[in-house]
Structure 1
Amino acid sequence: MKLNLQDIPRVKTITKQDFIKYYFKPQKPVVIEHLIEDWPAYQKWRLDYIKQIAGDITVPLYDDRPVDYKDGFNEPHAKMKMADYIDLLKREPTKYRIFLWNILKEIPQLQKDFKFPDFGLRLMKGIPMLFFGGEDSHTFMHYDIDLANIFHFHFEGKKQCILFDQTQNDYLYKIPHSLITREDIDFKNPDFNKWPALKKAKGYVTELNHGEILYMPEGYWHYMRYITPGFSMSLRATARNPKNFSKAVYNIFFMRHFDNAMRRLKGQNWIDWKNKQAIIRTHKTNGIRV
């Protein structure tokens, strides 16, 4: 048995009006295949190019180890020179990933390689973020703290993306006071005996290729797996739905600070309690006895 996933719709290109009408307003994901071929980045942005212009920069790295109470919010697990990291990506599979790397801050000249497309939403121009990963590395299933509308531009290789919207929360074993699901769920090949509620979840899947853009609506859960080494850039626009906007404000100004305080106060017991609650609450909501 597999996850109940439908393919994300694909379009060759799209007008601002059609994007707003068919995808933004109904909050549905879409892959746009041919929109950035006039960008210098379309030709230039490969791992070798990033190594050439950013090789001396020390970058933060993350892997798929479970959250530890001693870890701060988004605290890296290791650091490495970008040149060494890209050599590692090309040499062998590695769990190390880069995420939320602000390219304007680190390498301002990269701004010349891309434009901010007009999708009819006001994109946040100060925080284009890059994400890198090695073969078969993946993110935990999560949603972003600000519940933003995300445009995810992929460069080099292939990347699998699995999405769920917020209506699926009851089936995903969401960790309380957090933005992630249980970290021991393998969304590539889930164990339905261990995670029976996942059978009810309905989501989306696609594989991104070089130059393709994935639109992820507000608050969508996403699991990203690098089929081959590669990298992506995300541009974002603030949540427009009042419920999502207020949730984003709560997450940023209360939830993450509360969670960090509880980690300091209770240590690993807090993490363990949250992990147990994810199962207890999910099974109770779905009338599952295990």
Structure 2
Amino acid sequence: MKLNLQDIPRVKNISKEDFIKQYFKPQKPVVIEQYINDWPAYKKWNLDYMKTVAGDKIVPLYDDRPVDYKDGFNEPHATMKMSDYVDLLKNEPTKYRIFLWNVLKEIPQLQKDYTFPDFGLKLMKRLPMLFFGGKDSHTFMHHDIDLANIFHFHFEGKKQCILFDQDQNDYLYHIPHSLITREDIDFSNPDFEKWPALKKAKGWQCELQHGEVLYMPEGYWHYMKYLTPGFSMSLRAIARHPKNFGKAVYNVLIMRNYDNLMRRLKGQQWIDWKNQQAIVRTNNKT
């Protein structure tokens, strides 16, 4: 048995008007296959190029270890020179990923390789983020703290993406006071005996290749698995739906600070309680 996933629609290209009408307003995902073919990045951006322009940079690395109460919010698990990291990606499988690496701040010259697209949404131009991963590395199923509209541009290799909207929360074993689901769920091959509620979840899937753009609507849960070594860049636009904007404000101002406080007060007991509550609350709702 597999997850109930439908293929994300694909278009070769799309106008601003059609994007707003067909995907943004109904909040549906889409893959745009040829939108950035005229960017210099389309031809230039690969792992070797990143090694050339950023080889001496020290990069933050994350793996798939479970959350520990001692970990700070988005605190990296290791650091490495970019040149060494690219060599690692190309030579052997690794769980290490780069997460939320700010292009503008770290490698300003990369700005010359792309332009901010006009999808009819106001993009946050100070927050273009890069994400890197080795073969079979993956993110936990999560949604972003600000529930933003996300445009995810993929470079080099292939990447599996699984999405769920916020209406599926009851079935995903969402950990309370957090942005993630249970970390021990393998969304690429879930154990339905252990996680039976997942049978009821309805989501979306795609396989991204070099130069393709995935639009993820506001607050969509996403799981990303690198089928080969590669990297992506995300651009984002603020949540426009009042309910999602309100959740974003709550997450940033209250939820994150409350969770950090409880980690300091209760330590691993807090993490363990949240993990158990993910199961209890999901079972109660389903």
For the pair 1:2 / 2:2, whether they are aligned, the reply is yes
Q: Who is 1:248 aligned against?
A: 248
Q: Who is 1:42 aligned against?
A: 42
Q: Who is 2:112 aligned against?
A: 112
Q: Who is 1:275 aligned against?
A: 275
Size of the aligned set, in residue pairs, is 286
Letter in 1 for 2:114: F
Query: 1:205 and 1:249 mapped to 2: Cα distance?
Result: 28
Aligned residue for 2:225, secondary structure, equals: strand
Query: 2:193 and 2:10 mapped to 1: Cα distance?
Result: 33
Query: 2:105 and 2:204 mapped to 1: Cα distance?
Result: 33
Q: Who is 2:219 aligned against?
A: 219
Q: Who is 1:100 aligned against?
A: 100
The alignment-based identity, stated in percent, is 81
Aligned residue for 1:152, secondary structure, equals: strand
1:272 Cα offset (Å): 0.2
Query: 2:41 and 2:76 mapped to 1: Cα distance?
Result: 27
Q: Who is 2:138 aligned against?
A: 138
TM-score (norm 2): 1.00
Query: 1:278 and 1:39 mapped to 2: Cα distance?
Result: 43
Q: Who is 2:16 aligned against?
A: 16
For the pair 1:190 / 2:201, whether they are aligned, the reply is no
Q: Who is 2:121 aligned against?
A: 121
Structure 2 spans left out of the alignment, 5+ residues:
none
1:280 Cα offset (Å): 0.3
1:232 Cα offset (Å): 0.1
Query: 1:197 and 1:270 mapped to 2: Cα distance?
Result: 24
1:60 Cα offset (Å): 0.2
TM-score (norm 1): 0.98
Q: CA RMSD in A?
A: 0.3
Aligned residue for 2:259, secondary structure, equals: helix
Letter in 2 for 1:181: T
Q: Who is 1:207 aligned against?
A: 207
Runs of 4+ displaced beyond 3 Å: none
1:27 Cα offset (Å): 0.1
